[in-house]
Chain A
Amino acid sequence: MAVASLRRSVLSLNRTLRGSWCQAPDLRPVCVSACQRTPERSSVHARNTFKVTMVPGDGVGPELMRAVREVFKAADVPVEFEEIHISEVHNMASEEKLDQLFTSVRNNGVAIKGKINNPMAYKGDLASYEMKLRRKLDLFANVVHVTSLPGYSTRHNSLDLVIIREQTEGEYSSLEHESVKGVIESLKIITREKSHRIAKFAFDYATKKGRSKVTAVHKANIMKLGDGLFLQSCAEVAKLYPKIKFENIIIDNCCMQLVRNPYQFDVLVMPNLYGNIIDNLAAGLVGGAGVVPGESYSDEYAVFETGARHPFAQAVGRNIANPTAMLLSAANMLRHLNLDYHSNMVSEAVKRVIKQGKVRTKDLGGYCTTEDFVRAVVNNLGHQSVY
């Protein structure tokens, strides 16, 4: 048949161009191989585009989202964004917008977001929009994979650790009251069910990614019942994973060890507030808030964002924000959507630009703007290295 002969000729061409990179032809459908020079033409056919909710948020969020859009357009990624603009500080606080956001994420299943800033002053609602979002969608697990970027050396090189943080309870329960005038009580809630859930998530993540150790971070010497319950739940779940080592460490010791010898840690699991601190600490070890991607999972949904969540309001309009974190997070999102090829293309391009070291934004010690960086990433797309 003509189709079969076309397939054979295309694949033989493919094989000569790329070496023995292509696998046995009988299991693959007919395709057009990617030309090495033009990154726009992809050798993937996805029948429909994937719909993803996009929430630019506040601060430099919109600029970072623009960067993501540009890179996706250049890489011809079959993803369509549904933008929802929501903000708590810019007089755009409205319940309908929030509901619209929930419905959108529920329909699409996947979202990419910037930071929605919360006002410092108490305006009548103890829970910020982000907390409401996390609770409503039950995004209980936040995963930040901290890896050193090749080509950018910091005080600690070749770092590779994963921080898993319980995101819906703990100190962020938004339960505060003034029982007696001048005396405020803030409730920290720890439940057995949620501790089991986050511990199981951590161990399942470790199993899936081939990690060997999970360390629970706590302060059970002081909060004997609260963090004690968390620790006990983690130990119970650990019994189901005989191949993965389980340890625990107190938060103060953990922070000190992270700055002296971070290589001893593999996967860390912890309640909400400690997670916030350790996320930012670890991000600082490898280059700052601009380089670490993060994602949040619930049973049904996945939301991709930066690891250390800062709106970075002082950089708005100055074109200096580092889009690396958001681009790497977008690449993770593509992997979650089963678009491995595009995911690798985007993340390889970003890593190559950083490795080459010519185009770097201000936070990594360079002089280039966000747009320069994005242009460099777009130019580096499609240059697949043959192993």
Chain B
Amino acid sequence: FLINRTCVFQPPPAKYGGQHTVTLIPGDGIGPELLNHVREVFRFSCVPVDFEVVNVNSSRADEDDINNAITAIRRNGVALKGNIETNHTMPPSFKSRNNLMRTSLDLYANMMHCQSLPGVQTRHKNIDIIIIRENTEGEYSSLEHESVSGVVESLKIITRLNSLRIADYAFRLAREKGRRRVTAVHKANIMKLGDGLFLQCCREVASGYPDITFDSMIVDNTTMQLVCKPQQFDVMVMPNLYGNVVSNVCAGLVGGPGLVPGANYGRDYAMFETATRNTGKSIANKNIANPTAMLLASCLLLDHLKLHEYATTIRNAILTTMNETRLHTPDIGGQGTTSEVVQSIMNIIQKTGPRTVAYY
């Protein structure tokens, strides 16, 4: 947390000669191979993005690696990352690297857009939900202690400032995207003060957006409704843990963790990754991971950098490839390999995109 306090000024964006610089954190498991594919697609399509690769070794106990990564993101302003594994057997002073990054850079809003993709067989159709999850406090505050032997207290923190901030983000996003309804997910009947504060802040912000309907739903009812009738939801906003649960449920509804990208936004920085943040250790280096989520996350990155034409080209190529069932990876029921999917995407970009450069 030393880095957080000593940075005194906001540096200008790292864009020179039309080329942006983006920090790339490979992470563990399937992260490195998927990010290599992203780099290849970018190089092929002449996307003006240079990646600064920062490796974080998850088995080291000291915080140098992760501080380097955080400083690199402070410099460049934008990052694309794979998930860094957190070892459960380490002592409690060893904080989760991913969580450390989110709190140090104050990436308070996690946005996940769940859409039913054409060509993917699921039990539910026509799902289009945006989930906004508070990313820095709540149950993930890492404040636990054993007050009496055999008794552990875990603190869940809800603050007025952060709740107002996330509610404001949710409503602004809903307005920008032309959405009609925002639903706050909570458990205020049990945690009357904590989630009650969250709900009250959402209501206060909602009064400033009369064109958007606001309602609330308790988290248990929400998850049941999601598996019965997910089409009723539009935009959902919630604290940290419920966000984790609900976003994984929605990812499962649209076809699995390999399909949905996620974005973490703060006031000054943005970080893009897969929505469900899986390390995928069991399928690492087997060429069977689904590259869709990471590639769609890179499209969100391009949108953030205002490189919209490149984003649209790559996104369209991905969605067209989705239609080919023989190119589905095993997680969505096909037999294709990661490289085949990426190759097909590059072929489509070459046919439809503005400019490509391929070698040998």
CA of A200 to CA of B14 in the docked complex: distance in angstroms?
Answer: 8
Across-interface contacts of B346 in A (CB, < 8 A): 29
From known contacts A23-B360, A26-B343, A240-B71, infer whether A301 and B11 are also in contact, taking CB-CB under 8 Å: no
Across-interface contacts of A29 in B (CB, < 8 A): 343, 346-347, 350, 358
Q: Is the CB of B360 within 8 A of A208?
A: no
Q: With an 8 A cutoff between CB atoms, is B339 at the interface?
A: yes
Q: Is the CB of A28 within 8 A of B339?
A: no
* Size of B's binding interface in residues, CB under 8 A: 38
* Size of A's binding interface in residues, CB under 8 A: 48
Q: Is the CB of B18 within 8 A of A299?
A: yes
9 closest residue pairs by CB, A with B: A302-B17, A297-B17, A297-B16, A338-B46, A299-B15, A46-B357, A240-B75, A300-B18, A197-B12
Q: With an 8 A cutoff between CB atoms, is A255 at the interface?
A: no
Which residues A207-247 have CB closer than 8 A to chain B? 207-208, 236-237, 239-243
Across-interface contacts of A203 in B (CB, < 8 A): 75
Q: With an 8 A cutoff between CB atoms, is B7 at the interface?
A: yes
From known contacts A26-B339, A27-B339, infer whether A45 and B50 are also in contact, taking CB-CB under 8 Å: no
Q: Is the CB of A22 within 8 A of B360?
A: yes
Chain B contact surface mostly: mixed
Q: Is the CB of B18 within 8 A of A201?
A: no
Interface residues of B (CB under 8 A from A): 6-9, 11-19, 21, 40, 43, 46, 50, 52, 68, 71, 74-75, 339-340, 342-343, 346-347, 350, 353-360
Interface residues of A (CB under 8 A from B): 14, 22-23, 26-29, 31, 33, 43-48, 50, 109-110, 141, 193, 196-197, 200-201, 203-204, 207-208, 236-237, 239-243, 295, 297-302, 336-341
With both beta carbons as reference points, the residue of chain B lying nearest to A200 in the complex is identified as B11
Q: Is the CB of A43 within 8 A of B68?
A: no
Across-interface contacts of B52 in A (CB, < 8 A): 207-208
Q: Is the CB of A31 within 8 A of B11?
A: no
Q: Is the CB of B8 within 8 A of A236?
A: yes
Across-interface contacts of A295 in B (CB, < 8 A): 17
CA of A302 to CA of B68 in the docked complex: distance in angstroms?
Answer: 29
Q: Is the CB of A28 within 8 A of B12?
A: no
Shortest CB–CB separation between residue B12 and chain A, in angstroms? 5
Shortest CB–CB separation between residue A322 and chain B, in angstroms? 26
Shortest CB–CB separation between residue A117 and chain B, in angstroms? 25
Q: Is the CB of A46 within 8 A of B355?
A: yes
Q: Which of B16, B354, B355 is the one whose CB lies under 8 Å from A299?
A: B16
Q: Which of B21, B46, B356, B357 is the one whose CB lies under 8 Å from A208?
A: B21
Q: Is the CB of B355 within 8 A of A47?
A: yes
Across-interface contacts of A110 in B (CB, < 8 A): 17-18
Across-interface contacts of A207 in B (CB, < 8 A): 52, 75
